[in-house]
A and B are shown apart, each in its own frame.
Chain A
Amino acid sequence: MRFILACLVMLLAISGAQAADATALDAILTGLGQVRHVEARYVERRFLRVLRVPLETRGVLRFDAPDRLEKASDLAADGAGERIVVAAGVLTLERGAGPPVVLALREHPEIGVLVESVRAMLAGDGGALRRDFAVDLAGDLTGWQVVLTPRVKGLVRWLRVDGAAARLTRIETQENDGDRAELTIGEDAR
């Protein structure tokens, strides 16, 4: 089913090859929006000012349309893994044996921006995306780059989301303090 839908999106995209940016973005988002469930492995590299070397973590990213996002890191050597779940605007962070940290994203817009960008892309929610970010698109449907600049100043200066057709491949986050993160998303793990 997903395959057929992806083909359909491709056909649609090819037929309107010279469409304006907005239309192209909508095409990408429509494609993404057709995918109801994503489960893929990721590698995250964080480049922090205070560190001489990047930090690397790996794990699984899961998405269920329209608003459940989960990022579960693999267990580290010391057994400490973490799982972060965002559902219906509430973020739950589980680490080790302690009680989970629960945050309402409305209350923490700086985290909200980080989460909402990824969620809105995966859900194909153009309205939410344009409300929170200035959106720039480059490339075409087979390989696109969307740069999101938050409308409200916070932790994040900009995010760049790369993708191919109805799949996200890489998310780069540039923070205002100079720290940076790269999240590379693999093929669907299922």
Chain B
Amino acid sequence: MRSRLFVIAVWLCGMAAAAAIVARLGIDTDMSAFLPRDPAPAQRVLVDQLREGVVSRLVLVAIEGVPAAEAAAIDRKLAESLRGDADFVTVENGEESGFARDRDFLWANRYALTDGDFTRAGLHAALQRDLAALGSAAGFLVKQTLDADPTGAMQHLLGRQLGESGPARGEGVWMSENGRALMLVRLLAAGSDLDGAERALGKIQAAFAPGGSAARLIVTGPPVFAVAARARIKSDATRLSALASLLVAAALLAAYRSPRVLVLSFVPVVSGALAGVAAVGLVFQKVHGITLGFGATLIGEAVDYAVYLFSQTPPGGSPDGTLKRIWPTLKLGVLTSICGFSAMLLSRFDGFAQLGLFTIAGLTAAVCVTRFVLPCLIAPGFAGVREWRLPAFVSQAPRIRLAVPLLALLALAVLAMGRNAFWAGDLSSLSPVPPEMQTLDRSLRADMRAPDAGHLVVVRRADAETALQAAEALAGKLDPAIQAHALAGLDSPAFYLPSRATQRARQASLPAPAALLAALDAALETLPFQPDVFAPFLAAIADARARPPITRADLDGTSLSLRLDSLLLHQAEGWTASLPLRGLTAPAVVAHAIADIPGAVLIDLKAESDSLLRVYLREGVSLAALGAAAICLLLLASLRSLARLAAIVTPLAASVAVTLAILRLGGHALSIFNLFGLLLVVAIGSNYCLFLERHRTDPAGLPRVRASLLLANICTVAGFGVLAISATPVLHDLGLPVAIGTCLSLVFATLMLSPPPSAHAA
């Protein structure tokens, strides 16, 4: 009695300590936990862009379902009400007013933002261009600014802005061919601030005033996806895990007919989860949201421990007796799982390593609670469980044992013949965004003529000034590549905020009034311009000579400020300037051109995100292989027989192969979550094999063992089968292989590892 109380006290103290650690633990949702510990600069940029970049804040809005004029009116009203709100950095819908501040800024600072040649020859060439333009159809445009900007500085700036052809227009706003009124909204909240994004998106919905018409509001873009995904995973996880728990509870209740035993069955899992989180907290100081979500699923195996204990205790028997009997097998089963998951500890990704540690600590705690605490909690009133009578054909199972290798061979053939990609090589396959939402986004993007993020050149420096200088040097190096049509154009933070050095140099190159007048007069000598036309130009240059340099604050209130902020990121390690490239056709030329700038890297975002995924997969596969090898070694060491090892590994390998084949026949490329699922199949299935293998020569307890395995499997299939119906790829991809694979493991293990029928009958 004293020892019982002592065990319970130790357990409660342990749980309290774990709870104390967990309570102080910060939950981390930073994607960088799923970056390698030594990320390549390109991967770093990718993640930075996902978290903070301009793309992560961009929301596309469309209004459809009503005639174009009506849609445009609603669009204008919506834009107007959003423009006053601090949660939105810019709201663009094609209305000229939206650009007025940008235009004013560019016009006032045109000589600080561009290089100019104000010598006699330079002015002469510019004026000759103006003359040709005046005679052209675009003459009326040139005419309007000729007197104040004969060198075309403003035109150059606008041309740089409008590099990409904007959306089509109609009814005074951006309008797609099929009559959708469009709007582009940039949120203040960065991609990593989901609460901020959710609030801003709510405001868009609230401000939408269809005025009783049939108008529909479409909102899409990365913030929308992120918020929707979070809500969906949250609701899926809550809903489905509640459903799964209910199903498992129903199965256990049907088996035990005792609410008390039912509650006790969950004690190991809950203790394990708490211990797992605490262990991760102790080692990593924080726990990632994904670890928390998955870890809880990965230790679903722990429910089985209680099942083995309770189901294998006959009426009148004591749990202690059962434990003595099953402990060696249970211990080996847990060690097998730990072995399998321990490979994850070696991962270069903190996220994987956290998952591995969580699982190991959780399973260890769960099995210890099962071994030491559960008997204390149930004794002495526990009456044991009635024996289930399994149908007679189960005993005949070994007669068709050859079916297992045959099925495995068939599965291997299916896998070998598959034509489509084995692994999903596209990052979007991991995206929790439903396909119809992705399709809508693509169609809206096409309407907007908004290019997907493609290629970037990035460079990092210690401070903003040197980062801007590097960006300017890069733009200079890339100019010949543009002339050579290796790329169509580029954007640069220095286009909006030139470095101080450049601003000073530009200001110094502006001639004094007398010198400028002389140069202009000389340049005009052979040209047919009227005298005195260019007085506003002379005044503008005199003004530019005296202007203080542009600072970041001068951009406030323009849409250019956000462009600048997205292209010039400030991080703990310094300042990163990004130069997005447009229409890149010859990456080699660009890579060669930027080679002189220290630290400059050309990044293909799509290729980079896919390669990051391949790194995940490669690492996942090799860790799984390592885990499998460790499991084999462990089993060999404890069974001390190659034949017994083979007997246990064959049904496991067969079930993994057949599960893979079934997933492949379903037509889907495999994802990394499928891989985790298979890892779990091995962890859970190995327990089945170990129990059945142990009773191969001892048929006495076999029916009870079989019943306990069946109950454990029913719980697993119920729990993970429910996940498989989720539309969220993460949950679906994890649930399906586990449900299929563990069921197959039990069937195959029964076929291969049951004693021959004659022996059983005897």
Contacts and interface: CB of A to CB of B under 8 A. Distances in A.
Given A104-B168, A107-B169, A53 B135 contact: no
- Nearest first, the 7 closest Cβ-Cβ pairs linking A and B are A55-B135, A84-B137, A53-B528, A50-B533, A52-B528, A104-B169, A51-B528
B527 to A, nearest CB: 9
Nearest to B173: A107
Contacts of B147: 50
B762 interface: no
Contacts of B143: 48, 50, 177, 179
Contacts of B293: none
B422 interface: no
Contacts of A57: 135-136
Contact of A111 (B131, B140, B168): B140
Interface string B126-161: 000001101111111001001100000000000000
A177 B132 CA distance: 20
Contacts of A106: 169-171
B562 to A, nearest CB: 25
B683 to A, nearest CB: 59
Interface in B505-534: 528-530, 533
B172 interface: yes
A101 interface: yes
Nearest to A99: B165
- Chain B contact residues (Cβ within 8 angstroms of A): what range? 20 to 34
26 contacts: A46-B135, A48-B134, A48-B139, A48-B143, A49-B530, A50-B134, A50-B146, A50-B530, A50-B533, A51-B528, A51-B529, A51-B530, A52-B530, A57-B136, A73-B136, A76-B132, A80-B132, A93-B137, A95-B136, A99-B165, A102-B165, A106-B169, A110-B140, A155-B140, A175-B140, A179-B143
B169 A51 contact: no
A44 B46 CA distance: 55
Q: Which of B136, B138, B147, B528 is most buried by chain A, counting CB atoms within 10 A of its CB?
A: B136
Q: Which of B131, B134, B137, B528 is most buried by chain A, counting CB atoms within 10 A of its CB?
A: B137
Interface in A99-118: 99, 101-102, 104, 106-107, 110-111
Contact of A93 (B138, B169, B171, B533): B138
A55 B131 contact: yes
Contacts of B529: 50-52
Given A55-B131, A102-B165, A46 B139 contact: yes
Contacts of A93: 137-138
Contacts of B131: 51, 55
A64 interface: no
Interface in A145-190: 155, 175, 177, 179
Contacts of B165: 99, 102
Interface string A63-102: 0000000010100101010101000000001010001011
A155 to B, nearest CB: 6
Contacts of A95: 136, 138
Q: Which of A50, A78, A175 is most buried by chain B, counting CB atoms within 10 A of its CB?
A: A50
A73 B172 CA distance: 31
Contacts of A179: 143
B484 to A, nearest CB: 13
Nearest to B485: A97
Nearest to A111: B140
Contacts of A71: 137
B140 A82 contact: no
Contacts of A76: 132
A151 to B, nearest CB: 19
Nearest to A179: B143
Q: Which of B134, B135, B138, B143 is most buried by chain A, counting CB atoms within 10 A of its CB?
A: B135
Contacts of A107: 169, 172
Contacts of A53: 528
A71 B170 CA distance: 24
B698 to A, nearest CB: 83
Interface in B184-207: none
B482 to A, nearest CB: 12
A138 B761 CA distance: 120
A51 B143 CA distance: 11
Nearest to A45: B135
Contacts of A101: 138
A104 B96 CA distance: 14
B552 to A, nearest CB: 31
Nearest to B130: A50
A122 B634 CA distance: 91
B346 to A, nearest CB: 53
Contacts of B172: 107
Given A51-B530, A104-B169, A155-B140, 6 more contacts: A50-B134, A50-B530, A50-B533, A55-B135, A73-B136, A84-B137
Contacts of B136: 57, 73, 82, 95
B249 to A, nearest CB: 64
Interface string B581-611: 0000000000000000000000000000000
Contacts of B168: 104
Contacts of B138: 82, 93, 95, 101
Nearest to B133: A95
B70 to A, nearest CB: 16
Nearest to B159: A98
Nearest to B147: A50
A49 to B, nearest CB: 7
A110 B139 CA distance: 13
A95 B589 CA distance: 27
A106 B175 CA distance: 12
Given A51-B528, A52-B528, A102-B165, A46 B170 contact: no
A48 B132 CA distance: 13
A44 to B, nearest CB: 8
Contacts of B135: 46, 55-57
Q: Which of B134, B140, B147 is most buried by chain A, counting CB atoms within 10 A of its CB?
A: B140
Contacts of A102: 165
